[in-house]
């Protein structure tokens, strides 16, 4: 009996040749797998990149951050208890465990300068500590101070400032801008702040303007404080700070429901959220992979049907069932594996693009490559098996009658 | 060397058993150039498939190279087919995506030989059939006669016990057919290859050294003793 089976190199070469023989079909099958693998790779990479980026953003902001906000499901519900402005402003003074507290009332508006639109976005009513807590840097002028009570002063974000300069404003401080229906005097402009999409609360400073919180209270009496960003006092454990904050508001506002979350908890929450998201997205990717795999199976079944005569000839020339099965399985594998490699490349590229758009630090996730190659191999074996088995079971006489 | 004893083959067609071969006896000795002639529907394809180890008889015994092949499993049977049988088909059946040389190499690849030896033997065989200057051509670059030469080289490259040629000239014009026939005759005479030609054409059959006739599932002249007795 033959001891040495057909050597792998020539089997591979032949498989490549047959695949090239049906170029369009091969290409289509390859694209199917490529899309599947690419989406899985993109999802996994972006998940990992976002995770590492959000941790980095948090660390830049400081891990002593504590956020206080009503639960999302309550926002906008009429008749609910809300955070009192005076309570929010007094928070840091009353509680020794909290060093700073920056409440925010956010509304939307469009910004005009010299009669021309210079952007639109959030109008954030804040206190003096907001810049500090969120590490916003001044490019020009000063930030909102606690002495600006009720005055129509505005600090513009970097993008808004740029737009105003393009409209001919030399020095921004002292200029007058329209925010909605009202006129504001610009008292300062911010440096461009890094985007922090990866954080669960986004200040989005560049496209916003900041006004005294007391002013926005007057112009938008319906708007409520939906966020307080606070810092725990040095050396205070975040658990103590959050406990104190809860007690503080519990005492002052009956029935007020709040989420008081420390940075550590936020990071954990966010990571588990991102993990879940990644899982979901990967599941979507898997569905497209499944579709791709079915495509490969379809292509291989067609290939087997079209090449019945070849199968018959090979059987007549001495190929046994195992040889035929191996041949078709290897073809399916080459198909899915090259689709997989292309998918890894495209997926990594897509992840790079997305990371670039959000200005996240890009890295190649090794896990995604292992998953991509591994999964495409598995898909090839799984979906290639049935057609290969079918090919191997063909009666050589029937197969030789061909077509 | 090749002996069929009382081979029967029947197919089930619905509820009906159709007997295609009803007790065929055949002996082929090394160096024979034997024709099996018969009209279509006479069972000659079925017989060829059984001789070629592609189909199994319903009853009877088949000895090839001293071994009873009727009990062999797929793996062994395939290896045996690879070692002992060479096929030449009416429609050539070359693999389109392979070159002439690669087509001829296929039986040796399944035998698991080394790459160098496979190339050497395939090339030598193509030289023998006069195709040495077409090694790298694909089937669609070859004429019908050239294709059949390549196919003959493929059948012979493994030095099989017997070459089965099923209407080898059936798809060729008469001049080319004659050339291919002469090639088979020469390979038989000079190289002592054992060749069995299945045909419906008496002109082809006449050129063989032994002739048999198949009709209604029975083979006439299959036994060498019978021939000797005449």
Predicted pLDDT of residue A196: 65
In a domain, A266, yes or no: no
What does the DSSP 8-state code read for residue B23?
Answer: E
- Nearest-neighbour CA in chain A from B144: distance (Å): 18
Predicted pLDDT of residue A213: 93
Contacts of A313 in chain B (CB under 8 A): 89, 93, 95
The reply to whether A321 touches chain B by the CB within 8 Å rule is yes
Predicted pLDDT of residue A3: 36
Mean pLDDT along residues B4-32? 91
The reply to whether A8 touches chain B by the CB within 8 Å rule is no
Cβ distance of B107 and A4 shorter than 8 Å: no
In a domain, A270, yes or no: no
**C-alpha to C-alpha distance for A156 and A142, rounded to whole angstroms:** 10
Residue in B closest to A19 by C-alpha: B97
DSSP B58-120: SEEEEEETTEEGGG--HHHHHHHHHHHEEEE-TT----TTS-HHHHHHHHHHHHT--HHHHHH
In a domain, A49, yes or no: yes
Residue in A closest to B74 by C-alpha: A320
Predicted pLDDT of residue A7: 63
Last residue of a domain, one of A257, A287, A306: A257
Tell me: do A198 and A310 sit in the same domain: no
- The angle subtended at Cα B107 by Cα A14 and Cα A321, nearest 5°, is 75
pLDDT higher than 50, residue B229: no
Q: Is the ipTM of this complex over 0.85?
A: yes
Last residue of a domain, one of A197, A229, A257: A257
Predicted pLDDT of residue A198: 54
Q: Would you list the domain boundaries of chain B?
A: 2-229
Tell me: do A18 and A85 sit in the same domain: no
Q: For residue A386, report the phi and psi dihedrals to the nearest 5 degrees.
A: -60, -50
Within 10 Å of residue A289's Cβ, how many Cβ atoms?
28
Predicted pLDDT of residue A402: 65
Tell me: do A164 and A223 sit in the same domain: yes
pLDDT higher than 70, residue B157: yes
The reply to whether A315 touches chain B by the CB within 8 Å rule is yes
In a domain, A125, yes or no: yes
Contacts of A310 in chain B (CB under 8 A): 95
Predicted pLDDT of residue A80: 78
Predicted pLDDT of residue B225: 59
Total count of domains within chain A: 2
In a domain, A231, yes or no: yes
Predicted pLDDT of residue B16: 87
CA dihedral (A190, A192, A197, A198) positive or negative: negative
- Measured between CB atoms, which of B54, B83, B154 is closest to A396? B54
In a domain, A183, yes or no: yes
CA dihedral (B107, B113, B115, B116) positive or negative: negative
The reply to whether A7 touches chain B by the CB within 8 Å rule is yes
Predicted pLDDT of residue A2: 42
pLDDT higher than 80, residue B172: yes
* Pairing mode, strands B210-215 and B33-37: parallel
The reply to whether A396 touches chain B by the CB within 8 Å rule is yes
Residue in B closest to A400 by C-alpha: B93
**Domain assignment of residue A103, given as a range:** 71-257
Cβ distance of A315 and B106 shorter than 8 Å: no
Q: What is the pLDDT along chain A (403 residues), one digit of tens a residue?
A: 343 455 677 778 778 888 887 788 888 888 988 988 898 888 888 888 888 887 787 777 777 888 888 887 877 777 778 888 888 888 888 999 998 899 999 999 899 998 888 888 899 999 998 988 888 889 989 999 988 888 999 999 999 999 999 888 788 899 999 998 899 999 999 998 877 655 656 778 889 999 999 999 889 888 888 889 888 888 888 888 888 998 898 888 877 888 888 877 777 877 888 788 878 877 888 888 888 889 889 989 998 998 899 999 999 999 999 999 999 999 999 999 999 999 999 999 999 999 898 888 898 888 888 888 888 899 899 999 999 999 999 999 989 886 5
Contact (Cβ atoms closer than 8 angstroms) between residue B202 and residue B31: no
Print burial letters for A224-259: b (CB count within 10 Å at least 16), e (below 16): bbbbbbbbbbeebebeebbebbeebbeebeeebebb
Tell me: do A183 and A303 sit in the same domain: no
The reply to whether A22 touches chain B by the CB within 8 Å rule is no
Tell me: do A41 and A86 sit in the same domain: no
For the domain covering B2-229, report its CATH number.
3.40.50.300
Cβ distance of A21 and B97 shorter than 8 Å: yes
Tell me: do A331 and A386 sit in the same domain: yes
Last residue of a domain, one of A257, A286, A316: A257
């Amino acid at each position: 009996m033959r001891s040495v089976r057909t050597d792998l190199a020539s089997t591979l070469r032949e498989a490549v040749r047959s695949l090239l023989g049906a170029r369009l079909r091969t290409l289509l099958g390859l694209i199917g797998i490529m899309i599947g693998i690419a989406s899985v790779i993109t999802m996994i990479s972006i998940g990992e990149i976002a995770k590492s980026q959000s941790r980095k953003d948090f660390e830049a902001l400081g891990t002593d951050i504590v956020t206080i906000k009503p639960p999302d499901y309550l926002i906008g519900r009429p008749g609910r208890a809300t955070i009192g402005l005076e309570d929010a402003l007094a928070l840091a003074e009353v509680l020794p465990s909290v060093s700073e507290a920056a409440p925010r009332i956010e509304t939307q508006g469009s910004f005009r300068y010299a009669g021309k639109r210079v952007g639109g976005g959030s109008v954030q009513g804040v206190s003096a500590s907001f810049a500090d807590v969120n590490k916003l840097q001044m490019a020009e002028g000063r930030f909102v101070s606690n002495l600006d009570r009720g005055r129509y002063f505005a600090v513009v974000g970097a993008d808004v400032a740029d737009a105003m300069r393009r409209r001919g404003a030399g020095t921004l401080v002292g200029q007058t801008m329209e925010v909605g229906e009202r006129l504001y005097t610009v008292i300062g402009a911010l440096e461009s702040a890094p985007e922090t999409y990866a954080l669960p609360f986004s200040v989005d400073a560049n496209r916003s303007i900041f006004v005294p919180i007391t002013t926005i209270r007057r112009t938008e009496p319906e708007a409520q404080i939906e966020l307080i960003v606070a810092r725990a006092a040095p050396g205070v454990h975040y658990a103590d700070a959050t406990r104190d904050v809860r007690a503080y508001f519990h005492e002052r506002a009956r029935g007020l429901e709040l989420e008081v979350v420390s940075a550590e908890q936020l990071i954990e929450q966010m990571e588990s959220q991102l993990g879940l998201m990644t899982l979901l997205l990967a599941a979507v990717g898997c569905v497209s992979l499944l579709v791709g795999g079915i495509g490969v199976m379809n292509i291989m079944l067609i290939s087997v049907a079209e090449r019945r005569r070849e199968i018959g000839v090979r059987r007549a020339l001495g190929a046994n069932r195992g040889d035929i099965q191996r041949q078709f399985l290897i073809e399916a594998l080459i198909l899915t594996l090259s689709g997989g490699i292309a998918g890894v490349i495209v997926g990594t590229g897509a992840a790079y693009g997305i990371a670039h758009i959000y200005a996240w630090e890009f890295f190649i996730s090794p896990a995604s490559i292992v998953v991509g190659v591994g999964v495409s191999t598995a898909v090839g074996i799984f979906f290639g098996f049935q057609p290969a088995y079918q090919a191997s079971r063909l009666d050589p006489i029937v197969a030789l009658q061909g077509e | 060397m090749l002996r069929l004893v009382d081979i029967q083959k029947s197919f089930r067609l619905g509820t009906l058993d159709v007997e295609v071969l009803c007790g065929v006896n055949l002996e082929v000795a090394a160096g024979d150039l034997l024709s099996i002639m018969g009209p279509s529907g006479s069972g000659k394809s079925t017989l060829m498939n059984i001789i070629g180890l592609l189909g199994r008889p319903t009853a009877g015994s088949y000895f090839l190279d001293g071994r009873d092949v009727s009990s062999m499993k797929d793996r062994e049977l395939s290896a045996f087919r690879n070692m002992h049988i060479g096929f030449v088909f009416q429609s050539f059946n070359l693999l389109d995506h392979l070159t002439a040389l690669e087509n001829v190499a296929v039986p040796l690849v399944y035998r698991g030989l080394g790459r160098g030896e496979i190339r050497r033997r395939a090339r030598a065989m193509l030289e023998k059939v006069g195709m040495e200057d077409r090694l790298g051509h694909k089937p669609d670059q070859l004429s019908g006669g050239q294709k059949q030469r390549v196919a003959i080289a493929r059948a012979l490259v493994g030095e099989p016990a017997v070459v089965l040629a099923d209407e080898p000239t059936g798809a060729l014009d008469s001049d080319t057919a004659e050339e291919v026939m002469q090639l088979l005759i020469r390979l038989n005479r000079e190289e002592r290859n054992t060749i069995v030609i299945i045909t419906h054409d008496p002109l082809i059959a006449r050129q063989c050294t032994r002739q048999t006739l198949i009709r209604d599932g029975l083979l006439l002249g299959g036994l060498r003793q019978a021939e000797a007795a005449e």
